[in-house]
């Protein structure tokens, strides 16, 4: 058994910033991560970090307004204010740590404008390689700190006692189960794009943090809101390379099967993805095309994209690029207050695994690296000040002091899909872990993707429920642990998506195409400990 004051789970922007800040104190800090410390979704981030950093016409209020608009009525306003007000200071600290963002000829930060933003406020590095620079900077800082780093350790369960968190269990790549004792555990384990067959997320993004929280009885909300990025390269590559919004910002056009345009290319992501899904269904296609042939100096301006396309045998200056919407960012997650505390004492969450309330029903482009920086710093500060346990702020207002305002919460009403599914899935008995993971992903892409319906969601719930019912209790490998987590995350997503009989933000129902005032509330999952998959 190893013993630490704090264990941080995950080495993306959120986990790295927390561990590095805490390690400057006298606390014994460990960061565990399931691949290498450089593997994360953060590394893949392209477009940049949104923060009001000097454009005179821009303001905090405008960035707040853009974020609330994208969130389609479900953001927590206080959380959004925290994000946007504290963002510039956290970005400045990252620059002080050594991050090098692109600058214009006068040496000022070069700011880009992205979909949904009313002003140019997105800092970027290496053109469209922002994540690599953010990850490099924070990994360097971590290795200069006193934190213990445990790579190839996958957190499999939280240990909870009468006074909250007591530690966690982690599986090593070699199959050994390690018990780690800690007064605090911080979930910074990222999103769950791997719930879907078509995703921009790396293989580690399996929603482990949400599954750990659910199994420990910790509330999770907004899981129906998976944002689909409209323009991922349609090729047999996983994860699907993203063709950044910046391309459309510079004039690239979307074309259908007949070569015609069908949508305003600069509309918000959900609008573009929805228009693409509609055209694909009407024309019986599994992808459409992005025409970047008119963009000048493509290779010079987008070197990393040009390289990915070349690897796939494509030349954007010559031919249209095949694209399709791909699962990209999970707005939902473990509910937190304004300093990242969850409902369980000693358990914190930050970054994409958390639901701090900043994204609502749809994330504004380039706000998620910012979320990791801002709420990561808040978790570290609260922890250093001796915090342990939830306050009635942010999303937890709805649970700690339900009458104190904010968006009301309703609990998820899930059918026991596992029972029906187990029947339907007898034929999958002999399938291996990888085959089952593929079946789950294909099912989710088919039935719970950009456009959903009651019928499809029910079908998917039966298949996923069946898969979940067949899983053993204790995972003996990374693959088994991840499959169990995917099944749990998928079940929660399908349950909320079926319950939410409306279209809002990134959740679109063909059978309920309009938003409904009755659904201006968030759906919360809280399981009894030890029940279900």
Ligand X SMILES: Cc1cc2nc3c(=O)[nH]c(=O)nc-3n(C[C@H](O)[C@H](O)[C@H](O)COP(=O)(O)OP(=O)(O)OC[C@H]3O[C@@H](n4cnc5c(N)ncnc54)[C@H](O)[C@@H]3O)c2cc1C
Tokens coding 164 = 């909250």
Residue 242 binds to ligand X (criterion: CB under 6 A): yes
Query: Is 393 one of the binding residues for ligand X (CB under 6 A)?
Result: no
The span from the CA of 406 to the CA of 337, in Å, is 12
Closer to ligand X by Cβ: residue 126 or 515: 126
| Residue selected from 6, 142, 155, 335 as contacting ligand X according to rule CB under 6 A | 155
Contacts (CB under 6 A) with ligand X, residues 296-355 = 328-329, 351-353
Let me know: does 418 contact 462? Beta carbons within 8 Å: no
Binding segment for ligand X (CB under 6 A), chosen from 13-21, 275-283, 386-394, 427-435, is 13-21
Helices 13-22 and 368-384 cross at an angle (nearest 10°) of: 30
Asked whether position 81 contacts ligand X by CB under 6 A, the answer is no
Q: How many residues sit close enough to ligand X to count as binding (CB under 6 A)?
A: 45
The 3-state DSSP class for residue 512 equals strand
**Rounded distance between C-alpha atoms, residue 424 and residue 469, angstroms:** 11
Q: Is 181 exposed, middle or buried (0-12, 13-18, 19+ CB in 10 A)?
A: middle
CB contact burial 18-55 (16+ within 10 A = b; e otherwise): bbbbbbeeebbbbbbbbbebbbbbbbbbbbbbbbbbee
The one-character DSSP state at 292 is -
Cβ-Cβ contacts under 8 Å for 218 (sequence gap 6 or more): 334, 335, 342, 343, 344, 347, 526
Q: Which stretch binds ligand X (CB under 6 A): 34-42, 251-259, 416-424, 461-469?
A: 34-42
Q: Is 200 in the site for ligand X (CB under 6 A)?
A: yes
First to last CA, the chain: 27
Catalytic residue list contains 378 = no
Residue from 6, 7, 10, 466 in contact with ligand X (CB under 6 A): 10
Interface segment toward ligand X; rule CB under 6 A; list 32-40, 91-99, 338-346, 524-532? 32-40
Token couple for 160: 């909870």
Question: Helices 130-143 & 77-97, crossing angle to 10 degrees?
Answer: 70
- Is 46 among the residues that bind ligand X (CB under 6 A)? yes
Name the residue nearer to ligand X (CB basis): 168 or 414.
168
Task: By CB under 6 A, tell whether 154 contacts ligand X.
Answer: yes
- Do 63 and 52 form a contact (C-beta atoms < 8 A)? yes
Contact 467, 436 (CB under 8 A): yes
The interface mask with ligand X, positions 91-130, x = CB under 6 A, is ---------------------------------------x
Which residue in the set 48, 71, 268, 489 belongs to the binding site for ligand X (CB under 6 A)? 48
- In angstroms, what CA-CA distances link 47 with 118, 145, 245, 326, 398? 16, 29, 7, 16, 34
Which of 7, 8, 13, 180 binds ligand X (CB under 6 A)? It is 13
Residue 39 binds ligand X, judged by CB under 6 A: yes
Is 66 one of the binding residues for ligand X (CB under 6 A)? no
- Asked if 368 touches ligand X (CB under 6 A), the answer is yes
Q: Judged by CB under 6 A, which of 18, 21, 23, 33 binds ligand X? A: 33
Q: In what order do the strands lie in the sheet with 122-123?
A: 49-50, 122-123, 111-112
The piece of 46-54, 74-82, 259-267, 440-448 that touches ligand X (CB under 6 A) is 46-54
Question: Smallest distance from the beta carbon of 210 to ligand X, in angstroms?
Answer: 10
* Residue 231 binds ligand X (CB under 6 A): no
Among 14, 316, 374, 497, binds ligand X (CB under 6 A): 14
Residue 160's beta-bridge partner residues?
A: 165
- Residues 269, 274, 378, 436: which is the catalytic one? 269
Choices 271-279, 290-298, 339-347, 360-368; region in contact with ligand X by CB under 6 A: 360-368
Q: Does 40 bind ligand X (CB under 6 A)?
A: yes
Closest separation between CB of residue 67 and ligand X, Å?
A: 12
CB atoms within 10 A of CB 514: 8
Q: How far apart are CA 473 and CA 482, in angstroms?
A: 13
Query: Any residues with CB less than 8 A from the CB of 273 and at least 6 apart, and which?
Result: 228, 229, 230, 325, 450, 506
Position of minimal CB gap to ligand X: 12
For position 219 contacting ligand X by CB under 6 A, the verdict is no
Q: Stretches 26-34, 104-112, 246-254, 434-442: which one binds ligand X (CB under 6 A)? A: 26-34
Instruction: Write out the binding residues for ligand X, residues 484-513 only, by CB under 6 A.
Output: none
User: Taking the C-alpha atoms of 517, 520, 525 and 526 in order, what is their torsion angle to the nearest 10 degrees?
Assistant: -110
> Within a 13 Å sphere around the CA of 82, how many CA atoms are in the beta-carbon half?
24
Q: Least distance from C-beta 295 to ligand X, angstroms?
A: 19
Give 8 or 277: the residue with its C-beta nearer to ligand X: 8
| 372 contacts ligand X (rule: CB under 6 A) | yes
Q: Which of 71, 115, 116, 190 binds ligand X (CB under 6 A)?
A: 190
Which residues are known catalytic residues? 269
* Positions in the binding site for ligand X (CB under 6 A): 9-15, 32-35, 39-42, 44-49, 130-131, 154-155, 188-191, 200-201, 204-205, 208, 242, 328-329, 351-353, 366-369, 372
């Amino acid at each position: 058994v190893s013993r630490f004051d704090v264990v941080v789970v995950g080495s993306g922007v959120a986990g790295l910033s927390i561990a590095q800040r805490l390690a400057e104190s006298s606390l014994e800090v460990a960061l565990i991560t399931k691949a290498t410390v450089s593997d994360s979704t953060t590394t893949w981030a392209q477009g940049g970090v949104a923060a009001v950093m000097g454009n005179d016409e821009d303001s905090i209020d405008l960035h707040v307004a853009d974020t609330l608009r994208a969130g389609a009525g479900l953001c927590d306003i206080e959380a959004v204010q925290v994000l946007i007000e504290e963002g510039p200071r956290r970005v400045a600290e990252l620059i002080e740590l050594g991050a090098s963002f692109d600058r214009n000829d006068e040496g000022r930060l070069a700011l880009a404008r992205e979909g949904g933003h009313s002003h140019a406020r997105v800092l970027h590095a290496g053109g469209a390689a922002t994540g690599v620079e953010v990850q490099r900077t924070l990994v360097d800082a971590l290795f200069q700190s006193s934190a213990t780093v445990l790579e190839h350790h996958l957190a499999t369960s939280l240990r909870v006692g009468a006074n909250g968190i007591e530690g966690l269990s982690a599986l090593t790549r070699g199959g050994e189960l390690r018990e780690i004792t800690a007064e605090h555990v911080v979930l910074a384990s990222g999103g769950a794009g791997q719930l879907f067959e078509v995703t921009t997320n790396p293989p580690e993004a399996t929603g482990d943090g949400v599954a750990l929280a659910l199994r420990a009885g910790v509330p999770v909300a907004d899981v129906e809101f998976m944002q689909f990025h409209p323009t991922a390269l349609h090729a047999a590559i996983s994860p699907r390379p993203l063709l950044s919004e910046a391309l459309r910002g510079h004039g690239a056009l979307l074309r259908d099967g007949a070569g015609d345009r069908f949508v305003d290319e600069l509309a918000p992501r959900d609008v573009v993805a929805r228009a693409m899904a509609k055209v694909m269904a009407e024309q019986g296609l599994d992808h459409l095309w992005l025409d970047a042939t008119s963009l000048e100096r493509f290779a010079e301006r987008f070197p990393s994209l040009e390289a990915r396309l070349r690897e796939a045998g494509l030349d954007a200056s010559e031919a249209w690029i095949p694209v399709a919407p791909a699962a990209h960012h999970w707005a939902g997650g473990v509910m937190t207050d304004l300093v990242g505390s969850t409902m369980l004492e000693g358990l914190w969450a930050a970054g994409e695994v958390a639901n701090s309330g900043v994204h609502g029903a749809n994330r504004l482009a380039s706000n998620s690296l910012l979320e990791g920086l801002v709420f990561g710093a808040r978790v570290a500060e609260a922890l250093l000040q001796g915090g342990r346990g939830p306050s009635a702020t942010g999303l937890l207002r709805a649970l700690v002091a339900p009458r104190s305002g904010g968006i009301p919460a309703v609990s998820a009403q899930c059918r026991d899909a596992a029972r029906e599914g187990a029947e339907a899935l007898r034929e999958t008995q002999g399938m291996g872990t990888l085959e089952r993971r593929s079946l789950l992903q294909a099912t989710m892409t088919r039935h719970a993707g950009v456009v959903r319906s009651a019928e499809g969601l029910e079908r998917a719930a039966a298949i996923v429920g069946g898969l979940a019912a067949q899983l053993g209790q204790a995972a003996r490998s990374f693959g088994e642990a991840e499959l169990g987590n995917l099944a749990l995350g998928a079940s929660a997503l399908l349950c909320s998506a079926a319950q939410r009989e409306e279209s809002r933000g990134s959740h679109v129902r063909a059978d309920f195409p309009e938003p409904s005032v009755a659904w201006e509330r968030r759906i919360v999952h809280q399981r009894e400990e030890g029940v279900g998959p």
